[in-house]
Amino acid sequence: MFVDFFYMLKKHKVPVSLVEWMTLMEALSKGYAFSSLTDFYYLARSILIKSETQFDRFDVAFRECFEGIETPAELADEVLDWLDKLAELPELSPEEYARLPELSLEELLKTLEERLREQREEHHGGSKWIGTGGTSPFGHSGRSKAGIRIGGQGGSRSAVQIAAKRDFAAYRQDLVLDVRQMQVALRKLRQLTRTGPEDQLDLEKTIDKTCKNAGELDFVWTAERKNNVKLLLLMDVGGSMTPHAQLCSRLFSAANSARHFKDFRFYYFHNCVYESVWPDVGLNKEDISTDYLLRTLTPDYKVILVGDATMYHGELLEKNGAIDYYQHNDTPGIVWLQRIHDHFTHCVWLNPQHERDWHHPTVQLVRRVFPMFGLTLEGLDAAIKRLVVSR
């Protein structure tokens, strides 16, 4: 009965492998869902989902697949009124409890539908109908090997209701990031190489050489593994970037707090990089020559430019087209961007606007120079992958 659920997950692009699916089937066969749809929800999510960014798609698929098996609305209120009356739980001997039936989830759901169609009055302390106490698998406050809770404490938290709440919508990959997610993504830039003096013991090689020497100790020393990645972050501020200031601030915080870069430089610009960039977000401190950066920074710096790339076309294509009065660019902005691209071996552009808004002419021109990605978790992951591969 769960084949449709498998295809529903695939429909919503939840990456479920056959190995994971067969693991879930094995868990079900061993009774780990306890014949409860809610327990099945948590069991399936724990086995099939590998990242919290997939929780929301899982919830959407779960609700779409299992929504139809909820209690019919026309009976729900009446049944819940019956269940408000609690009966005392009878004492059962171990032998009596052992004789209680244990139904599978499929059998429970089928039987529950029959009870809802047939039941016409409240029941308490029985073994068949929906009620309280007793040994019926339907209702609450009773004693049964397996059942479906209806009413009582926790009765309103059915699996479909849990999925419908979509508590994890903010974790989706196509939504904006928080600082922690950015830090995790940036950590993928690490490239560890052994540099410096050989002052660390290589335990595996020491054991290997000692064994080959018939037990006579032969120590092997090696250099420390260090991350040699150097990062240059260039960020657009002001104007049309103001609505994205908080998001860009998170990216800066994530990069600035990282401890795994050999060197980290950051500068700001407005609309486009011209002859100068600034070390502060207010563009108030003394500017830094862009030409100086190209002469002093080695080509192996990973470069991330952040901006919406949306501006008047003259700002990008014309001499002295810079919109700010304090900039007098004798060289068009598009030329400076091309120089950055040509000097550094790995460059990407992150755009905080939704991809549907990338139709602006200057955005298209910038995309011809730099590979452009959205400033989302999915976009940042793709940009990082681009930065770590050879051009």
330-345 pLDDT, tens digit per residue, is 899 999 999 999 999 9
Q: How far is CA 87 from CA 23, 77, 141, 181, in A?
A: 40, 19, 8, 50
Average pLDDT estimate for 93-114: 62
Residue with tokens 């601030």: 249
Highest mean pLDDT among 11-20, 98-107, 172-181, 301-310: 301-310
Read off the pLDDT of residues 143-153 as tens digits, 9 standing for 90 and up: 554 555 555 54
Q: What pLDDT is attached to residue 174?
A: 52
Q: Looking at residue 325, what is its pLDDT?
A: 61
Write the CB contacts of 381 (distance below 8 Å, at least 6 apart in sequence): 173, 185, 188
User: 294: burial class by Cβ within 10 Å (0-12, 13-18, 19+)?
Assistant: middle
pLDDT digit string, tens, across residues 58-67: 988 998 888 7
Are residues 37 and 105 in contact, defined by beta-carbon separation less than 8 angstroms? Answer: yes
Which domains are assigned to the chain?
3-171 (no CATH), 197-226 (no CATH), 228-388 (3.40.50)
* Contact between residue 242 and residue 352 where contact means Cβ atoms under 8 Å apart: no
Residue whose token pair is 């919109």: 323
Give the span between the Cα atoms of 304 and 102, in whole angstroms: 59
Which of the given ranges, 84-93, 219-228, 240-249, 266-275, has the highest pLDDT on average? Answer: 266-275
- Reply yes or no on whether the pLDDT at 225 is more than 80: no
Q: What's the chain's Rg over C-alpha atoms?
A: 31
Task: Of 315, 321, 290, give the one whose Cα is nearest residue 366.
Answer: 315
